[in-house]
Amino acid sequence: MPETSPKTVTIAKRRFELRADRVERALRQALPEPIKSHYVVIGQRRYPPKQAISLLTGLDRADFTTHQARRILTGLGFPAGRRSGQAEAKAPGSSRRHRTPAVRPRPSAETLEPFVGQWVATKDADVLVAAPDPRTVVGWLAEHHQQADSMFRVPSDELQASGAAPW
């Protein structure tokens, strides 16, 4: 559980008092931007650290570094990570005409669990975006010039997953 006591931090020569519960509340309605490298997990979603700090403080992202943002958020108790680079698989000795199709990884049930009942767009094993309706997902993909491998609604129970229950 993230730290609940307030932390005073200085960013761009300005002081801010931040609390984990207020961070979660402030980002609840914000869709995360695409993850380039580093991320923090806030409310079971991965956010770029600079997006989170910018939304919280109103500061321009040029006023601080990703590492500073990440350090502040991990200091509040939020887990952080780094996206792993996923290069396309190519069979050794294969030419352009005779490529072995790469098997793309898919998100695990554990990865999809926080998004039950929501529409998600996925690429490889990552969830790019999740929202309550498909229009929001498609709008986010267009806005951020992202292309998903798939888009679907995460079922809320086994009956929906099997197709035996209405959505």
163 pLDDT more than 70: no
Q: What gap in Å lies between CA 128 and CA 134, rounded to an integer? A: 13
CB 70 within 8 A of CB 85: no
pLDDT band per the 50, 70, 90 thresholds, residue 96:
low
Which 3 state secondary structure label does DSSP give 129?
strand
The pair of structure tokens assigned to 38 is: 């580093």
86 pLDDT more than 80: no
DSSP state of 98: S
Summarised one tens digit per residue, pLDDT across range 4-23 is 688 999 999 999 999 999 99
Q: What percent of the chain has pLDDT over 70?
A: 81
Q: What is the mean pLDDT of the chain?
A: 84
Q: Note the pTM of the prediction, 2 decimals.
A: 0.69
Which H or E element spans position 64?
none
Please name the residues in contact with 14: beta carbons below 8 A apart, sequence gap of 6 or more: 57, 59
Q: What gap in Å lies between CA 113 and CA 106, rounded to an integer? A: 14
pLDDT band per the 50, 70, 90 thresholds, residue 88:
very low
Q: What gap in Å lies between CA 110 and CA 160, rounded to an integer? A: 17
Answer positive or negative: Cα dihedral of 122, 27, 85, 61.
positive
DSSP state of 69: H
The predicted pLDDT at position 24 comes to: 94
CA dihedral 84, 22, 24, 51 (to 10 degrees): -40
When pLDDT is averaged across residues 77-105 and rounded to a whole number, the result is: 64
When pLDDT is averaged across residues 101-129 and rounded to a whole number, the result is: 84
**122 in the Ramachandran plot: left (φ > 0), alpha (ψ -120 to 50) or beta?**
beta
Q: Are strands 38-42 and 14-18 parallel, antiparallel or unpaired?
A: unpaired
49 pLDDT more than 90: yes
